[in-house]
Each structure stands twice: as structure tokens, then as C-alpha cells.
């Protein structure tokens, strides 16, 4: 909440600083978000008052107390960031406190992580005059310290076979310094860094860069996979740094794009900072403060990095701008892509949205509304061509009556051919585990999670059934809980089952599997991809984490298994768009070197427009067809969409609250209201869920209606939680 404090005589306070203030009987840290000549509680022009953010719920004493001290002279928030957060709070219908929290990492906000201090040994060379003489052994030790140029105390002791006490005697004699030094924790330590070779720009890359540098509005960089968009990003960053300004590069998920991070680190060195949730608290603390102090000028990270405290923002890049990972899945449910555009506009910075398969919102902004510049890159770097794509009808593959195979015969033949030629293969299946359904053969009942309305997935490695939503697990039942039959079957297939099948079909193939189960250890993504890059494996099998951001010149074959899986999500009006994007992105991993690429797409719906047009690499035809359909149905991007979800432990109470709210929403002018109904995922982690879908011409209209029907302070109670998601992406 926001509170007003008085600035004591002689103290200087700036917007964005962190300050210490009295709070009831203790002192707390707060953030100054505005300065005023007057106070609502003390009608006088002097002294000035500061409005601070305390992340607290209430206060009994409304007297204007004085700030105790300024915690740090350097502000934590710039005035432009505060303006951005006010916009975010209004647009997404949340309180300003929540918006402020989203911009400040917990490791910084909690003040739990501190600067890391270690003892460093530094030799004095040349030596000052009139030092006491050394013994022969001490003289030899000093010369060795000079040779290795000192270092961490523990490392010097280990390397030179000495003790801290001996080194401290040398320090007391004046020959070395042994003192505590702040050393930043680097998240890039241990990460594979590619060589910093700066290639010659192709004509297409140079043309795109020139258009971006002179544009007066955000640019949608529409480049086919392999067209060299990353190099254009880096040249734009270099130009921005030359101008004395900083850059932020957003990627969908940091663990999915280690090659991208490595390329930026190799090109821009220590000026690069990495921000993401997988960092330790200490690493995140150090990186965030390096950015705040201006020591890091290029920030790379996923959606939360859009709030990075760079001092002079000159360039905002959103790579793979279509990716749903840019949508925050907890309140405030912001889209980092949209926030990036707004921040760049507010700070008069360049903005690049890059994708081979842009979101339909961005495409319409560029093609129809003129809000964005459209910059095309239609050709691959190095003269390579897009891979040939073959669509395989799996209904025909199952005509022999033995069920649907995991691999079609043409894909098996193609894999054997590549292995004989020493080329590499990528297989994509967006489903982990062994089998997604564990079902009774007698009554056809599937084993469900007790906490969620979701099927349990069978994992063969530890012989368990697991819920991929809440993490619950159990041993497979010996008898059906419905009919008592002991006869079960495992239907469908996940990456574990595909790996088992590959070993049976291609016994000599070396296989790397990348999914959430095989990459839980830190840096495991980098290690697995480095092994594949070094040709230590023939086949890379994985889920969506291998769909983008990877460049392996020796990969000439990509197999997409169950390509139409996402089309089965009938509740999701974006299902076709997601399917097209996924097929196009995964296909783009093939043929990126001098060897031609080939893609096999296995599907039960070969004639679906998303699959047919993705196979033809015809994004523009898909966009025209889908946009017309969306316009006819009055869906985004032609209308703004919000999803209001009611969550609680009492199913009847949740349903009643949702139905009552839907009636109140129906009375709001200019609002299209869908009837309240159970969410597609009706129960999650023992909590019941109902939804209302709202549509209007503007997000402002939806936010106003939500504030009227569902006041912010009433959205969380002991028995019910109400979530408002403006520009909803996930409707489950």
C-alpha cells in the first residue's frame, strides 16, 4: 500500500530511492514513488512529503512521520519505470503494489541476499621502501604470489601449499594485501561460450538493420528460420552502445536458448547481464545491482527482464515475440511483449519484435493498423534453403489393424539413411513421460489425479503415475478402482516411450532426451546441447525446449510426432495458431548448414489449414485465413479478451459466485459476456475453478467493468480467489 512520510530538514530524497521509515514499533524499508509539496494529512507546503511503497496491508497511525534514513543513494526505480508500472496496474486491473512487486526480484526486495565478500591476496609490486627482511622461504613464497598474480585466499593456499596464517604474516610485513573484497556471482560461470566471430552481413541482414535504425515506431522483424535475426539484433545492440544507451533482450525462456545467451556473452563480454528465475538468490541479487549501477549494459532474460533497471534504455528486443511464455501466469498477468513495446515508447527507445511466425496481434499491427514497421528477411543465411516438408497421414499408417505406430515407415527409413551418412536428427514430441493415459481395459476408466481433473501420466523409469499439473504421484494400481479389473493398458506415448522405441528400432543410435525430467539439474540444458553439438549423439529427442533457438548445421532431418496434439484443445481459439507456429519453428531446425534439410510431420489431420500451410511455409496465407475467421467470430486481435477465474475449495460456492458475477457483468455497457461455466481444467490442486470470458473493444473498458463488478480489495477472501486476466492467452 501507499503511505505518506515527511522528509526531515536537511535530508535529500529522490524518486525511486529505498528509505528506512518508522512502521508502528519497528523500522521498515520502503520505496519512494513520488514527491509532493503538500500532504493529505498535514496541509502545509513544507517540508516535502514522500510517498513510499511498504508492501503492507494497513496502518493505524495516520500522522505524518518522518523518513529515518536513505538506504541507498542510487534509486531502485527510475521515474520512467514508475510511469510504466502505473500503466501496467491500470491496464491489467491490479493494484500498484502488485505491479511494483513484479518489477523487483524477490532476492532484491527481501534484502536477504547480500554482496559476497571473500578474502583476496594481492602482491605489492613494486614494493614500498624499508620493509622488514624476509626469510628465504618467505621470499620464495612472495615471488610465487607475484608469478600467479595473487587470487582468492583459499586458492592461493592450495596452489602454493601454504596456510592463511603464513600469508597474513606476509601481509603484516607489507609485501602483500590480504583483504575482504566484494566479488560478484556470475550466472555465466561454467556456461559454454562460443567464439566471438563477427560474420559479414548478408544483403538481407544489412537491409533489415538499416530499416530498423531509421524506424520511428516498433519494428516487426519477420524473418524465416535461419535468416540471421540474432546477428541483426547484435548489430543493433552495438549501434545502441555506441550511442551511449543500453539494451534489453527478451527471450521466451532462458533455459531454452543457451546458444543465444552464449552468443551475446561472446560478443559483448562483461557488459552482459543475465536475469531469470533459475538463478540463485545471490546471482540474481548481484546481476540486478550490476545493471542498476550501470556496470552491465546489455540485459538478456525472459519476461521479468522487461523491468531491468537499465539507466539509459535505447533498444528493446523481443525474440520469438509470438511465444506464449511472455505471458505471466500469476498476477499481474502481463504480456512482456506488450510491456516491452510500451516501455520502449515511453523511453523513446528502438523496439524490435522478431519471429518467423509472428503472433496475429503483431501481424495485424504491422499489416493493417500501421502501428509497427514490417521488416522482412525472407532468405536464409549462407544460401541454404528451407527444408522440404512431408506430411504423413497416421490414419493410413494404422491400416494394418495393429494400432497407431509411434513412427511411420518413411520416417524410420529416413532416420536410418541419416545415421548411415553420419548426419544428425531431431525428433519433437511435446509430451513427456512414457504414456499419457493409464487405463482399465475392461471399463475404459483412466486413472485420474485425486487433486486435479487431469489424467495421471505413466513414467517407466521409476514405475510411477504422475500428475504434471500438481506434481502428485502414486504407484500404478493393481486393480481398477471402478470395476476391480486387474487388466490395465498404457495408451499413447511420451518422450520416454519414444526413446525406448528408438533403441529397439535403431540399436546403434546414440540418443539424447531433453524434457523436464532429464533437465532438472542446473546447467543440464547446456551440457546436453553441448554434447549434441559435439556430435556425441545422433538423435536429439525432446519437447518444446528444442523447438527454437537451436542451430546445429549437421541436423538434416526433423521428425514431428503427434503434430496435431495441440489441435485437440477445442476450448482454445488459438489452437490452430499455436500448431502452425510450433510446426514451423521445429521444422526450421533442419538444413541450417550446407546440407539440405528434410522434415516429416506425422498427423491424423493432414488437411487442417494449420498443418497444410505450415508444411508449405506459407505464414501469410495462414494469417489471412485465420484473421478473417477471428474477425467473423469477434475474437482477438479484433476484440480484447479477458478471462475471469473463480477459485475455491467449495464447488457450489465457486459456481454461485461466478454465475452472480456474470449477471452483473451483463449489465455493463459495451461488454460481451460469455455465461459462467466450469474451466476446462475444472479442478486443480484440490481447488475448483469456474470462468467468465469477457470481450470488448478496449482493455480499458474491460478493466473498468472488472473494477466495478469485482473491486480489487474483494478479489481475495478466505474462501474464494478471483483472478482477472486481461489479454488472456491461457484459457485452461
**What is the Cα–Cα distance from 621 to 399, expressed in whole angstroms?**
33
Grid cell, residue 623, equals 494469417
279: confidence class by pLDDT, cuts 50, 70, 90:
confident
Q: Check which CATH number belongs to the domain holding 649 and give it.
A: 3.30.70.600
- In percent, the amount of the chain with pLDDT more than 90 equals 62
382: confidence class by pLDDT, cuts 50, 70, 90:
confident
Same domain, 671 and 619: no
56: confidence class by pLDDT, cuts 50, 70, 90:
very low
Same domain, 243 and 212: yes
Same domain, 57 and 22: yes
Q: Rounded mean pLDDT of 199-219?
A: 96
Q: Rounded mean pLDDT of 155-167?
A: 89
Same domain, 408 and 311: no
Task: Tell whether the model's pLDDT for residue 94 goes beyond 90.
Answer: yes
Same domain, 67 and 158: no
Domain end among 133, 151, 182: 182
492 Ramachandran zone, left/alpha/beta (phi>0; psi -120 to 50): left
Task: Tell whether the model's pLDDT for residue 400 goes beyond 60.
Answer: no
Same domain, 377 and 395: no
Task: Tell whether the model's pLDDT for residue 52 goes beyond 70.
Answer: no
- Reported as a single tens digit per residue, the pLDDT across 214-248 is 999 999 999 999 999 999 999 999 999 999 999 99
Identify the pLDDT of residue 59: 38
**Residues 575 and 732: beta-carbon distance below 8 Å:** no
Close Cβ partners of 189 (under 8 Å, ≥ 6 residues apart):
none
Q: Check which CATH number belongs to the domain holding 36 and give it.
A: 3.40.1440.60
344: confidence class by pLDDT, cuts 50, 70, 90:
very high
Identify the weakest region by mean pLDDT among 57-61, 172-176, 621-625, 664-668: 57-61
Q: Rounded mean pLDDT of 550-579?
A: 89
**Residues 586 and 597: beta-carbon distance below 8 Å:** no
Residue with cell 545492440: 237
340: confidence class by pLDDT, cuts 50, 70, 90:
very high
Identify the pLDDT of residue 116: 65
543-581 burial, b at 16+ Cβ within 10 Å, e below that, comes to bbbbbbbbbbebbbbbbbbbbbbbbeeeebbbbbbbbbb
Domain membership of residue 192 (yes or no) is no
Grid cell, residue 82, equals 514508475
Residue 72 is part of which domain span? 2-109
Q: Check which CATH number belongs to the domain holding 307 and give it.
A: 3.40.50.300
CA distances from 604 to 268, 575, 586, 607 (A): 47, 15, 18, 9
Same domain, 667 and 568: no
Same domain, 124 and 58: no
How many domains does the chain fold into?
5
Domain end among 383, 404, 423: 383
- Give this prediction's pTM: 0.85
Identify the pLDDT of residue 218: 98
Identify the pLDDT of residue 502: 96
- Reported as a single tens digit per residue, the pLDDT across 476-531 is 999 998 898 999 988 889 999 999 999 999 999 999 999 988 887 767 887 898 89
**What is the Cα–Cα distance from 517 to 281, expressed in whole angstroms?**
24
Range 240-243 contact pairs with CB under 8 angstroms and sequence separation of 24 or more = 240/314, 240/315, 240/350, 241/268, 241/271, 241/297, 241/298, 243/314
Task: Tell whether the model's pLDDT for residue 71 goes beyond 80.
Answer: yes
Task: Tell whether the model's pLDDT for residue 377 goes beyond 90.
Answer: yes
Domain membership of residue 38 (yes or no) is yes
Task: Tell whether the model's pLDDT for residue 551 goes beyond 70.
Answer: yes
**Residues 294 and 233: beta-carbon distance below 8 Å:** no
Same domain, 542 and 411: yes
- Which letter does DSSP use for residue 131 in this model? P
Identify the pLDDT of residue 1: 74
637: confidence class by pLDDT, cuts 50, 70, 90:
very high
Domain membership of residue 667 (yes or no) is yes
**Residues 558 and 550: beta-carbon distance below 8 Å:** no
* Residue among 30, 105, 70 nearest 290 (CA): 105
Identify the pLDDT of residue 265: 86
Same domain, 311 and 332: yes
Domain membership of residue 285 (yes or no) is yes
Same domain, 425 and 563: yes
**Residues 583 and 576: beta-carbon distance below 8 Å:** no
Domain membership of residue 466 (yes or no) is no
DSSP 677-699: EEEEEEEETTEEEEEEEEEES-H
Close Cβ partners of 218 (under 8 Å, ≥ 6 residues apart):
341, 344, 345, 351, 352, 353, 371, 372, 373
Identify the pLDDT of residue 333: 95
Terminal Cα distance for the chain, rounded: 31
CA distances from 379 to 113, 203, 383, 679 (A): 47, 10, 8, 43
534: confidence class by pLDDT, cuts 50, 70, 90:
very high
Identify the pLDDT of residue 317: 98
Residue with cell 486491473: 93
**What is the Cα–Cα distance from 280 to 51, expressed in whole angstroms?**
32
Domain membership of residue 465 (yes or no) is no
619 Ramachandran zone, left/alpha/beta (phi>0; psi -120 to 50): alpha
Q: What is the overall mean pLDDT for the chain? A: 89
DSSP 244-301: T-EEEEE-S-GGG-HHHHHHHHHHHGGGEEE--TTS-HHHHHHHHHHHHTTS--EEEE
Domain end among 575, 605, 629: 629
Domain membership of residue 440 (yes or no) is no
Residue with cell 561472446: 266
Same domain, 176 and 312: no
Task: Tell whether the model's pLDDT for residue 110 goes beyond 80.
Answer: no
Domain membership of residue 634 (yes or no) is no
Helix ranges restricted to H, 534-589? 575-587
Residue with cell 523491468: 307
Amino acid at each position: 500500500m501507499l503511505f505518506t512520510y515527511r522528509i526531515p530538514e536537511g535530508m535529500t530524497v529522490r524518486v525511486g530511492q529505498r528509505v528506512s521509515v518508522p512502521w508502528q514499533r519497528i523500522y521498515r524499508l520502503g520505496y519512494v514513488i513520488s514527491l509532493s509539496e503538500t500532504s493529505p494529512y498535514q496541509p502545509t507546503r513544507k517540508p516535502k512529503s514522500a510517498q513510499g511503497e511498504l508492501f503492507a496491508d494497513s496502518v493505524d497511525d495516520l500522522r505524518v512521520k518522518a523518513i529515518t534514513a536513505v538506504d541507498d543513494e542510487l534509486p531502485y526505480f527510475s521515474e520512467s519505470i514508475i510511469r510504466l508500472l502505473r500503466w501496467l496496474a491500470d491496464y491489467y486491473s491490479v493494484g500498484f503494489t502488485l505491479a511494483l512487486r513484479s518489477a523487483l526480484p524477490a532476492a532484491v526486495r527481501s534484502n536477504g541476499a547480500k554482496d559476497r565478500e571473500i578474502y583476496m591476496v594481492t602482491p605489492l609490486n613494486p614494493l614500498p621502501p624499508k620493509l622488514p627482511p624476509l626469510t628465504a622461504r618467505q621470499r620464495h613464497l612472495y615471488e610465487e604470489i607475484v608469478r600467479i598474480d595473487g587470487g582468492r585466499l583459499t586458492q592461493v593456499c592450495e596452489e602454493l601449499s601454504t596456510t592463511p596464517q603464513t600469508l597474513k604474516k606476509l601481509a603484516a610485513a607489507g609485501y602483500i594485501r590480504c583483504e575482504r573484497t566484494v566479488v560478484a556471482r556470475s550466472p555465466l560461470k561454467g556456461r559454454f561460450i562460443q567464439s566471438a566471430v563477427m560474420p559479414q552481413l548478408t544483403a538481407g541482414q544489412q537491409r533489415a538493420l538499416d530499416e530498423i535504425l531509421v524506424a520511428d515506431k516498433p519494428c516487426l522483424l519477420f524473418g524465416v528460420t535461419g535468416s540471421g535475426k540474432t546477428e541483426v539484433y547484435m548489430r543493433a545492440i552495438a549501434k545502441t552502445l555506441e550511442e551511449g544507451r543500453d539494451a534489453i533482450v527478451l527471450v521466451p525462456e532462458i533455459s531454452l536458448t543457451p546458444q543465444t545467451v552464449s552468443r551475446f556473452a561472446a560478443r559483448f563480454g562483461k557488459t552482459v547481464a543475465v536475469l531469470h528465475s533459475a538463478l540463485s538468490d545471490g546471482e540474481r541479487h548481484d546481476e540486478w545491482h550490476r545493471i542498476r549501477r550501470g556496470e552491465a549494459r546489455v540485459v538478456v532474460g525472459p519476461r521479468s527482464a522487461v523491468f531491468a533497471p537499465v539507466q539509459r534504455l535505447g533498444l528493446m528486443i523481443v525474440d520469438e515475440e509470438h511465444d506464449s511464455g511472455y505471458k505471466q501466469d500469476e498476477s499481474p498477468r502481463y504480456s512482456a511483449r506488450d510491456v516491452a513495446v510500451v516501455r520502449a515508447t515511453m523511453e523513446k527507445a528502438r523496439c524490435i519484435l522478431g519471429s518467423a511466425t509472428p503472433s496475429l496481434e503483431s501481424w495485424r499491427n504491422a499489416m493493417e493498423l500501421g502501428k509497427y514497421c514490417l521488416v522482412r528477411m525472407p532468405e536464409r543465411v549462407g544460401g541454404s534453403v528451407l527444408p522440404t516438408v512431408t506430411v504423413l497421414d497416421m490414419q493410413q499408417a494404422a491400416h494394418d489393424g495393429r494400432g497407431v505406430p509411434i513412427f511411420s515407415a518413411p520416417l524410420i527409413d529416413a532416420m536410418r539413411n541419416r545415421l548411415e551418412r553420419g548426419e544428425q536428427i531431431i525428433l519433437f514430441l511435446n509430451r513427456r513421460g512414457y504414456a499419457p493415459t493409464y487405463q482399465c481395459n475392461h471399463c475404459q476408466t483412466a486413472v485420474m489425479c485425486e487433486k486435479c481433473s487431469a489424467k495421471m501420466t505413466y513414467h517407466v523409469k521409476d514405475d510411477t503415475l504422475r500428475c504434471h499439473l500438481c506434481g502428485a504421484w502414486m504407484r500404478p494400481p493393481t486393480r481398477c478402482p471402478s470395476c476391480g479389473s486387474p487388466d490395465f493398458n498404457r495408451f499413447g506415448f511420451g518422450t520416454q516411450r519414444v526413446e525406448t522405441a528408438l533403441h529397439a528400432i535403431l540399436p546403434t543410435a546414440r540418443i539424447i532426451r531433453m524434457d523436464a525430467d532429464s533437465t532438472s539439474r542446473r546447467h543440464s540444458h547446456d551440457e546436453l546441447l553441448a554434447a549434441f553439438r559435439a556430435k556425441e549423439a545422433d538423435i536429439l529427442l525432446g519437447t518444446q525446449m528444442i523447438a527454437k533457438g537451436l542451430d546445429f548445421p549437421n541436423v538434416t532431418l526433423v521428425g514431428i510426432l503427434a503434430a496435431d496434439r495441440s489441435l485437440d484443445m477445442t476450448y482454445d481459439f488459438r489452437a490452430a495458431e499455436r500448431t502452425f507456429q510450433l510446426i514451423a519453428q521445429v521444422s526450421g531446425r533442419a538444413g541450417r548448414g550446407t546440407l539440405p534439410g528434410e522434415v516429416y510431420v506425422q498427423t491424423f489431420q493432414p488437411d487442417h489449414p494449420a498443418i497444410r500451410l505450415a508444411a508449405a511455409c506459407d505464414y501469410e496465407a495462414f494469417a489471412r485465413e485465420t484473421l478473417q475467421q477471428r474477425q467473423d467470430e469477434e475474437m482477438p486481435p479484433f476484440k480484447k479478451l479477458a478471462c475471469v477465474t473463480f477459485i475455491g475449495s467449495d464447488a457450489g460456492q465457486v459456481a454461485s459466485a461466478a454465475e452472480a458475477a456474470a449477471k452483473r457483468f451483463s449489465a455493463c455497457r459495451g461488454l460481451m459476456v460469455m455465461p459462467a461455466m466450469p474451466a476446462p481444467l475444472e479442478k486443480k490442486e484440490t481447488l475448483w475453478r469456474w470462468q467468465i470470458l469477457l470481450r470488448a473493444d478496449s482493455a480499458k473498458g474491460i478493466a473498468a467493468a472488472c473494477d466495478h463488478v469485482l473491486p480489487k480489495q474483494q478479489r481475495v477472501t478466505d474462501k474464494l480467489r478471483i483472478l482477472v486476466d486481461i489479454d488472456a492467452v491461457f484459457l485452461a
